[in-house]
């Protein structure tokens, strides 16, 4: 039996596989463009997205979308982003997210399916936010562990599992692909509070995203 890997030995877990070296940004971001992020209330966020069909798998179109989504996620300073958050009606998300042990997880999942939660798995209540709800956060219960299954942009099987903060990310992004935003899981009173706070914070958040987009040009060219 081999020794377990530690955070210091693993630079990142990419597409579910440990790698010893990985850059500051996913390589896809260098090729991508920053797209506008949809906001809560826009129709594409509130219905189940279409499956990525076989005609798109392996295509330059799908690869380009993944590139754009990584670039957009970094510009918005997020750890995950679903396709409908850039206005594209497809079941797909990207992520670059640490777990509670500090291990970085990076990748994308096409047509993700979240495993049903084992009722014996604990639920953790932690603060959660969303790039499509710019600004506020709210406490929300999520399973401590999560596993998502799907394929990559070339159609190869992908299984991604995580715990803690990364498990929360997997559940949050999987929700997006079936038309659910995290505020939909809040009580009516808490949802109203969050949306009111969003209106107060939105302009400042969007201004910061413009600044970050400009900063990324220099950082990606220099990395």
- For the question of residue 101 being annotated catalytic, the response is no
Helix pair 60-75, 188-222: axis angle to 10 deg = 100
**Residue from 63, 160, 143 nearest 106 by CA:** 160
Rounded Cα distance between 71 and 34, Å, is 6
Decide if 181 contacts 147 (C-beta within 8 A): no
Q: Whole-model pTM?
A: 0.93
Residue that has been written with the tokens 């463009």 in this structure: 33
Distance between start and end Cα atoms, the chain: 37
Q: Which position among 173, 190, 199, 219 bears the catalytic label?
A: 173
Rounded Cα distance between 175 and 169, Å, is 10
Rounded Cα distance between 66 and 29, Å, is 9
Per residue of the chain (223 residues), give pLDDT as tens.
333 334 446 789 999 999 999 999 999 999 999 999 999 999 999 999 999 999 999 999 999 999 999 999 999 999 999 999 999 999 999 999 999 999 999 999 999 999 998 777 789 999 999 999 999 999 999 999 999 999 999 999 999 999 999 999 999 999 999 999 999 999 999 999 999 999 999 999 999 999 999 999 999 976 5
């Amino acid at each position: 039996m081999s020794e377990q890997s530690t955070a210091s030995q693993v630079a990142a877990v990419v597409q579910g596989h440990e790698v010893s070296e990985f850059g500051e940004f996913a390589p896809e971001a260098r090729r991508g463009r920053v797209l506008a992020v949809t906001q809560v209330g826009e129709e594409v966020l509130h219905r189940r997205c279409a499956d990525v069909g076989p005609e798109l798998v392996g295509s330059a179109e799908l690869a380009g979308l993944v590139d754009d989504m990584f670039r957009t996620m970094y510009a918005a300073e997020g750890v995950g982003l679903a396709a409908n958050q850039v206005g594209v009606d497809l079941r797909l998300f990207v992520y670059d997210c640490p777990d509670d042990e500090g291990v970085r997880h990076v990748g994308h999942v096409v047509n993700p399916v979240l495993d049903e939660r084992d009722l014996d798995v604990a639920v953790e209540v932690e603060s959660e936010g969303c790039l499509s709800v710019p600004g506020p956060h709210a406490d929300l219960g999520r399973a401590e562990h999560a596993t998502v299954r799907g394929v990559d942009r070339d159609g190869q099987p992908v299984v991604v599992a995580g715990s803690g903060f990364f498990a929360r990310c997997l559940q949050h992004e999987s929700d997006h692909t079936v038309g659910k935003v995290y505020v939909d899981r809040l009580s009516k009173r808490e949802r109203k509070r969050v949306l009111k706070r969003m209106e107060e914070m939105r302009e400042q958040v969007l201004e910061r995203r413009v600044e970050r987009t400009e900063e990324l040009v220099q950082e990606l060219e220099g990395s």
